[in-house]
Each structure stands twice: as C-alpha cells, then as structure tokens.
Amino acid sequence: MSNDIRIRKGLNINLKGEAEKKISDAPRSGTFVLKPTDFHGVTPKMVVKEGDQVKAGDSVFYSKNNEKIRFVSPVSGTISEIRRGAKRRILEIVIAADGQDTFRGLDAKNPKELSSEEVKEFLLDSGCWPFVRQRPYDVIANPEESPKAIFISAYATAPLAADVDVLLEGKEEDFQAGIDAVSKLTEGKVHLSVGKNSSSFLSGVKGVELHRVSGPHPAGNVGVQIHHIDPINAGERVWVLNPEDVAIIGKVFRTGEFDATRTVALVGSEVETPQYYRVKIGSAISSLVPKATSDVRIISGDVLTGVQVSAEGFLGFYANTVTVIPEGNQYRMFGWLPFKDNNIPSMHHTSLSWLFPKKKYVVNTNLNGEERALVVTGEMEKVLPMDVYPMQLLKACMVNDIEKMENLGIYEVAPEDFALIDYACTSKIEAQEIIREGLDLMIKEVG
C-alpha cells in the first residue's frame, strides 16, 4: 500500500558537483573521533580514559541524563586523547585505530522473536540507540517513552544530497532486519517514504507503511513528511531514523557486531571527482579530502544543514555527505544592483538566475549582504511546505514566548526545516539557530 504526498512549496538549489553513482573504499583513517557535540543536548560521562584499549562497539561515554544511552567506539584501537574546550567541555574523543577492527561480540538475534523491551535493551547495549531520534525537539529519543509512530525518509532532496538507493546498495537484508527491529519500538505504524519514481527494493520492504513523495526540497525532510502524514500534537512523540542507520541496526541484530561503516557522498564544486566512498563513522576528513586548500570550506553534511569542519577535522556521526565549496570572502562591486551577478542562484526574481532552474551553479559561502531587520514578508512561506507561519514562529522564539511557540507549531518543526529560510531570507537572519534555541527552551520548560 502506498500513499502519495505531493509537496508544492520549496526550492531545489542546483549545485555543481553531484556525486557519480560509484562507491569506492576510502583509505582507512588512522584516527577516529566521537564528538559529543554531534548529539544535541547530551552531556557526556566518560567510561574510558586516555590510553584505554577499546574494541569496536565498546562504550566510550554515556549520557548524563540517561545512563542507558551509550555511545560506542566505531573502531577498535586506543583512546589517544580527550579534547576539551571552554569550561572543560568535552569536544572530541580521539581514537588511534588498529589496522584491523576487532569487535565486541554480541549474540546475533532475530528481532522478530524479541519483545519490545528486549529490542530496546539490545539497541541500548549495542550502542545503536543514538541512531533513534525524536521529534519534537530533534534530539536523541528517550528510551523510557514510546512513540506514536516511527518515520524513515528515504527520499533525499537537500542540495547534492546522497542518494539513498546508493547508500543502501547491498544492504537490503540488513535494512529489512532493521525495520523488523525498530517496528517493535512503537505500537503505531512505521512510515517509510520514498521518491515518487523510486523502483528500488524499498517499495517491497515489509512491515512499513509506504509513502511516495514528490516535490522540491524540503519534501525529503522527515519533519515535512510527518506534518503531512500524521502531524505531531503537543505531548506526542515521534521517532525518526536515517535509512542507512536502520541498515546498521539490522546488521548488529544479524551478526552481533557494531559495524560503523557508512557510505558517504563526497560532493561539491571543489571536489575533482565527486562520488561515493565507504568509510567508518568518525573518520578523518583527510581520508576523503586529502589535499584541501585554504580557500575552500569543507562541510560535514549538506550545504544547508551541515557543520563546517577543518581539513584536519572528522566526519560527523550522522553525516552521509561531505560537501566542499569555495569560501566567499571576497568583495563584490555594486552587488546591490538588480539583475547583476546572475551566476549566484537566487529564488528571488531580482536576479535572473531563477530563469535557469536546470543550470548547475557554483556557490560560495558569501553572505551576499548583511543582516537587517525583517522587512520582506511572504518569502519564508514559499520555502516551508507546512501549515505553519514561519515568521510569526521565529518571532515567538526570539522573544521566548512559550505559549505562542506552542500555538504556532514549534513541536512540528526542526532546525533543518528552516534551513531554506536561512538561505532565502532577504534580511539574512539565522532561522535554524533561532529555532534550535526555541526548541531548547521548550525542552527546559515543557520537556
């Protein structure tokens, strides 16, 4: 059974440097990191100390709020350094990897024969729990709660996003086992959405409600799909997973080994041969981008929601894309003239670039203006395909008006849904950051 969802509002930004559908093994990186900053709201409590030996799947730290949520090492090796920032906050845990991984062996299990509690225990014990995230608030799910439904979006629409069909190549059985496992976590449905014309094995996955989604970005955002399928009301919980993470979970059930291998799309105009690479979670960026110059920006993730990393940095926990684009720290003369600089993509008609929607653009990181008071109206609505008033919600977040935020639908949005508003806003406001702060306030005040 499948249901069609057609999204009309939104914007596809066509960028140069799309990945060729070819997967290679990236050279194994010598060091790996786990970054507690990848897990919003988690305060780490260390289990290991510098010099300890760990196997792949051994706990490195757990969450201070819930000891059961454990974060495990993606590889086997030695904890070489715990990097701290201001106020001794832990930023990175560096693991010097062995040449070959040895795994903390668990017994393989058939999720179909397990109870809901047993699946939960296994996920927590194996270190797979951080893959399960919760809406509202866009944080790691609380294992004490039970969600009304689980959503998995296998339709990627972000600029230069990794194609889910490529990510799941050869992982069909793992994926099905993962679905069997996570479907035990809810009494409601497991919703899986695919692209409208997708012909991959996903259409035949058992135990899910299939949705065929079409439309421009952010149609692929799981939050947008939830809004159109089964919107979140106050007090409700929905859990979401990335498709590749479902396959990793499935593999742990089938083999008992936490295999942190991911397929990552290396994309962007500054990449010579954009394609897919097989790497482990937490790999050094240098194993993907060996010779980065200083005039490029490396992003772990896509250009809208990713995190900037240095050439010596590491891949984020959830990232399945690494984007490399030019930095934009140049001046541009008379850039305020309408219809000038049409080589910069713009959804606004004060530039002619909207006339060429098929053209692939090279974009840099220039802000293309300065932050201003909110003046222009109606532009945010164009890129948010939800029954939510984005500007009013942002203003409510800015003034910390909890009741208004709740009324205007804060539970239904995640920062990534506002990424296009970041992009499109004439006044250059940081919408994702405002929404994140708003969500954090809600966690604190409402929970």
Partner 1 sequence: MKFLRTKIDQLKKPFGKGEKWEKFAPAINALDTFLYVPNHVTKRGAHIRDAVDLKRTMITVVVALLPALIYGIYNTGYQYLYQVNGGEVAFMEAFLHGLGKILPMIVVSYGVGLAIEFAFAVYRGHEVNEGFLVTGLLVPMIMPVDIPLWMVGLSVAFAVLIGKEAFGGTGMNILNPALLARAFAFFAYPTYMSGNKVWVSEASHIDAVSGETILGSLATGHDVHFSMMDMFYGAIPGSIGETSTLCILVGALILIATGVGSWRIMLGGLIGASLTGLLFNLWGANALMSFPWYGHLIVGGFAFGIVFMATDPVSAAQTNKGKWIYGILIGFFCLMIRLFNPAYPEGVMLGILLMNVFAPTIDFYVVEANIKRRKKRLEASKKLKTA
Interacting positions 281-340 with partner 1 (CB under 8 A): 297, 299, 303-306, 308, 323, 325, 327-338
Task: Please tell me whether residue 146 binds partner 1 under the rule CB under 8 A.
Answer: no
Q: Do the beta carbons of residue 10 and residue 383 sit within 8 Å? A: yes
Interactions with partner 1, residue window 13-42 (CB under 8 A): 13
At 193, which amino acid appears? S
Task: Please tell me whether residue 199 binds partner 1 under the rule CB under 8 A.
Answer: no
Q: How far is the CB of 442 from partner 1 (least distance, A)?
A: 15
Q: How far is the CB of 236 from partner 1 (least distance, A)?
A: 7
* Length of the chain measured in residues: 447
Q: Do the beta carbons of residue 341 and residue 348 sit within 8 Å? A: no
Q: State which residue, 47 or 402, has the beta carbon closest to partner 1.
A: 402
Task: Please tell me whether residue 149 binds partner 1 under the rule CB under 8 A.
Answer: no
Task: Please tell me whether residue 373 binds partner 1 under the rule CB under 8 A.
Answer: yes
Q: Do the beta carbons of residue 108 and residue 254 sit within 8 Å? A: yes
Task: Please tell me whether residue 423 binds partner 1 under the rule CB under 8 A.
Answer: yes
How many angstroms separate the Cα of 445 from the Cα of each of 40, 103, 289, 403, 426?
A: 17, 41, 42, 11, 32
Q: DSSP letters along 229-269, please? A: HSPPPTT--EEEE-HHHHHHHHHHHHHS----EEEEEEEST
Q: State which residue, 56 or 388, has the beta carbon closest to partner 1.
A: 388
Q: What is the DSSP letter of 42?
A: P
Q: Which of the stretches 89-97, 182-190, 259-267, 426-434 binds partner 1 when contact is defined by CB under 8 A?
A: 426-434
Q: Distance (Å, rounded) from C-alpha 168 to C-alpha 248?
A: 10
Give the number of other CB atoms < 10 A from CB of residue 379.
Answer: 16
Q: How far apart are the first and last CA of the chain?
A: 35
Interactions with partner 1, residue window 336-365 (CB under 8 A): 336-338, 341, 344-351, 353, 363-365
- Of 321, 379, 323, give the one whose Cα is nearest residue 349: 379
Q: How far is the CB of 181 from partner 1 (least distance, A)?
A: 26
Task: Please tell me whether residue 384 binds partner 1 under the rule CB under 8 A.
Answer: no
Work out whether strand 275-280 and strand 20-25 pair parallel, antiparallel, or are unpaired: parallel
Q: How far is the CB of 192 from partner 1 (least distance, A)?
A: 22
Task: Please tell me whether residue 419 binds partner 1 under the rule CB under 8 A.
Answer: yes
User: Which residues lie closer than 8 Å to 131 by C-beta, 6 or more apart?
Assistant: 241, 242, 245, 246, 248, 249
Q: How far is the CB of 235 from partner 1 (least distance, A)?
A: 8
Q: State which residue, 273 or 343, has the beta carbon closest to partner 1.
A: 343
Task: Please tell me whether residue 399 binds partner 1 under the rule CB under 8 A.
Answer: no
Q: How far is the CB of 431 from partner 1 (least distance, A)?
A: 7
Q: How far is the CB of 127 from partner 1 (least distance, A)?
A: 30
Q: State which residue, 279 or 431, has the beta carbon closest to partner 1.
A: 431
Q: Distance (Å, rounded) from C-alpha 277 to C-alpha 210?
A: 28
Q: Distance (Å, rounded) from C-alpha 179 to C-alpha 162?
A: 21
Q: How far is the CB of 234 from partner 1 (least distance, A)?
A: 6
Q: Distance (Å, rounded) from C-alpha 121 to C-alpha 118?
A: 5
Q: Do the beta carbons of residue 314 and residue 35 sit within 8 Å? A: yes
Q: State which residue, 210 or 307, has the beta carbon closest to partner 1.
A: 307
Using CB under 8 A, pick the residue from 115, 199, 294, 377 that binds partner 1.
377
Q: How far is the CB of 377 from partner 1 (least distance, A)?
A: 4
Task: Please tell me whether residue 369 binds partner 1 under the rule CB under 8 A.
Answer: yes
Task: Please tell me whether residue 443 binds partner 1 under the rule CB under 8 A.
Answer: no
Q: Distance (Å, rounded) from C-alpha 316 to C-alpha 309?
A: 9
Using CB under 8 A, pick the residue from 366, 401, 402, 440 that binds partner 1.
366
Site string for partner 1, 88-127 (x = CB under 8 A): ----------------------------------------
Task: Please tell me whether residue 433 binds partner 1 under the rule CB under 8 A.
Answer: yes
Q: How far is the CB of 39 from partner 1 (least distance, A)?
A: 19
Task: Please tell me whether residue 236 binds partner 1 under the rule CB under 8 A.
Answer: yes
Task: Give residue 431's Cα distance to chain centre.
Answer: 17
Radius of gyration of the chain (CA): 21
